């Protein structure tokens, strides 16, 4: 409404200036032709025009048309100032609307588009999805003329896939319709977060329901079991399921903490020390599977600017996964390689590998490639999600190369500390 009012006021002031200019020209012509006889009809008309433009003309001032001409010059100056101010306001408003993430389109009372901001202009591009969105906006603008307001949510399958919420509404000044406005909001990220939240709740409920149900059933059986040997096995199973629940809760707490620490306090951390701490945490699991861990530390030693606990947690989860999905008696390699700006921490196994169709989803929460093996090894499905968030928190990235049946290599790439020492 503000845009339409600004445009209308600008046009009105421009018309006033043009009218004043015509009046001045009329006065000059009258002077040239010598058509002056007291307050002639022309003078009276010019005086009336000056009054309409907002200037009171003295009634008893001698000089023929000169006083009227003077006052017309004054009002012309005022009108010119108003035009300049109105144009400045309109430009300021346009620039402000161009910064909005929403698209804004304004039509005048005749249905012609008089304004679209930068986001809306980009929406009206030549791609197929944009063409569909543009047609939907046109349809909704038409609906708003009939109904006063209209809304629609558009799912565009891209690429990239996106969701747009479009709302149109009539604008008026309380007396007459000035036009119609359309607001186009990209709600793709909001929709994605809502889906993640729903999936997270559903997955947590499912992951906890299975061991909790097993705990209840095992406890009920144990109460009425007279055989000590069977009771011992049942108690052992209860312990396993309780440990599984504890692991899920611990990983959820770790993931929540890491997600909330988008900019954690950092300090220089030697890569070799972080690798050593992570290796020690998984050594018992490796020995249980008879898996050997071979470490190749960066030479010379280097440091990264990191939150130590997060870095160790990421390496631990990569190592734990490598051990779980290796064959008994296998080998897991841990390497640190450096470039001028980055250090890459690689964890390589020679286990079952990951099918190529699954690679895009392995960093999702609770996603498992092999559900049966994950449950057998006690996996929670949260480890790689933790690794991804740690990488993001440290302006790094995580990469994976894998072949089914041949093994996998995960690579955590982090920027080197600017003052990293090379000894």
Q: What is the pLDDT of residue 292?
A: 93
Amino acid 332: pLDDT? 94
Question: Which residues in the chain land under pLDDT 50?
Answer: 1-2, 7, 32-33, 35-39, 60, 126, 371, 421-423
**pLDDT value, residue 70:** 67
Angstrom CA distances, 246 to 119, 210, 243, 249, 252, stand at 48, 13, 5, 5, 10
Q: What is the pLDDT of residue 411?
A: 93
**Residue pair 254/313 in contact by the 8 Å Cβ criterion:** yes
Question: What does the pLDDT look like over 169-225, one tens digit per residue?
Answer: 888 877 787 888 888 888 888 887 787 777 777 777 777 787 788 888 888 888 888
At residue 378, the pLDDT reads 53
Rounded to whole angstroms, how far apart are CA atoms 332 and 324?
11
Q: CATH code for 100-186?
A: 3.30.450.20
User: What pLDDT does residue 42 have?
Assistant: 56
User: What is the spatial distance between Cα 274 and Cα 396, in angstroms, rounded to a whole number?
Assistant: 16
CATH of region 191-257: 1.10.287.130
Q: Encode pLDDT of 385-411 as tens digits.
A: 889 988 988 889 999 998 888 899 999
Provide the pairing of β-strand 292-296 with 331-338: parallel
Does residue 207 contact residue 251 with C-beta atoms inside 8 Å? no
- Cα separation, 105 vs 177, whole angstroms: 16
Angle at 390 between CA 310 and CA 338, to 5 degrees: 90
pLDDT at 156: 77
CB contact set of 67 (below 8 Å; sequence gap of 6+): 57, 58, 61
Query: For domain 261-423, is the CATH number 3.30.565.10?
Result: yes
At 300 the pLDDT is 84
pLDDT score, position 357? 81
Mean predicted lDDT score pLDDT of the chain:
76
Show the CA angle centred on residue 372, arms to residues 370 and 373, nearest 5°: 70
What pLDDT is stored for residue 108 in this prediction?
A: 81
C-beta of residue 336 within 8 angstroms of C-beta of residue 279: no
Domain-by-domain residue ranges, the chain?
1-99, 100-186, 191-257, 261-423
Q: Output the 3-class SS for 289-314.
A: CCCEEEEECCCCCCEEEECHHHHHHH
Please tell me the pTM assigned to this model.
0.54
């Amino acid at each position: 409404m503000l845009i339409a009012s600004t445009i209308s006021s600008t046009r009105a002031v421009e018309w006033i200036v043009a009218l004043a200019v015509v009046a001045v020209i009329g006065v000059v012509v009258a002077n040239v032709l010598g058509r002056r006889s007291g307050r002639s009809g022309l003078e009276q008309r010019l005086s009336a025009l000056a009054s309409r433009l907002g200037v009171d003309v003295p009634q008893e001032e001698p000089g023929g048309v000169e006083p009227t001409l003077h006052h017309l010059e004054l009002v012309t100056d005022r009108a010119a100032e108003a035009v300049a101010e109105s144009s400045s306001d309109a430009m300021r408003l346009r620039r402000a609307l161009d910064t909005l993430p929403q698209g804004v389109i304004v039509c005048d009372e005749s249905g012609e588009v008089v304004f679209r901001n930068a986001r809306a202009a980009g929406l009206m591009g030549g791609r197929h999805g944009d063409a569909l969105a543009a047609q939907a906006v046109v349809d909704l603008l038409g609906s708003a003329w009939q109904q006063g307001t209209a809304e629609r949510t558009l799912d565009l399958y891209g690429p990239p896939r996106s969701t747009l919420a479009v709302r149109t509404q009539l604008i008026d000044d309380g007396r007459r319709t000035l036009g119609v406005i359309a607001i186009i909001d990209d709600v793709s990220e909001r929709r994605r977060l809502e889906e993640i939240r729903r999936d997270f709740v559903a997955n947590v409920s499912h992951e906890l329901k299975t061991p909790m149900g097993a705990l209840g059933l095992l406890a009920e059986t144990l109460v009425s079991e007279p055989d000590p040997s069977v009771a011992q096995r049942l108690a052992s199973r209860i312990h396993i399921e309780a440990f599984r629940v504890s692991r899920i809760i611990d990983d959820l707490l770790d993931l929540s903490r890491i997600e909330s620490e988008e900019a954690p306090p950092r300090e220089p951390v030697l890569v070799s020390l972080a690798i050593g701490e992570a290796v020690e945490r998984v050594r018992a699991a490796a020995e249980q599977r008879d898996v050997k861990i071979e470490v190749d530390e960066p030479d010379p030693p280097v440091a990264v600017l990191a939150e130590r606990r997060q870095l160790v947690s990421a390496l631990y989860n990569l190592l734990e996964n490598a051990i779980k999905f290796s064959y008994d008696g296998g080998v897991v390699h841990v390497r640190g390689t450096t470039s001028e700006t980055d250090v890459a921490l690689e964890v390589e196994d020679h286990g079952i590998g990951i099918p190529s169709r699954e690679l895009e989803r392995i960093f999702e929460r609770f996603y498992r490639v092999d559900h049966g093996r994950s449950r057998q090894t006690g996996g929670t499905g949260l480890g790689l999600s933790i690794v991804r968030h740690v990488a993001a928190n440290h302006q790094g990235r995580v990469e994976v190369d894998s072949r089914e049946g041949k093994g996998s290599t995960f690579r955590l790439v982090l920027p080197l500390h600017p003052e990293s020492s090379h000894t």
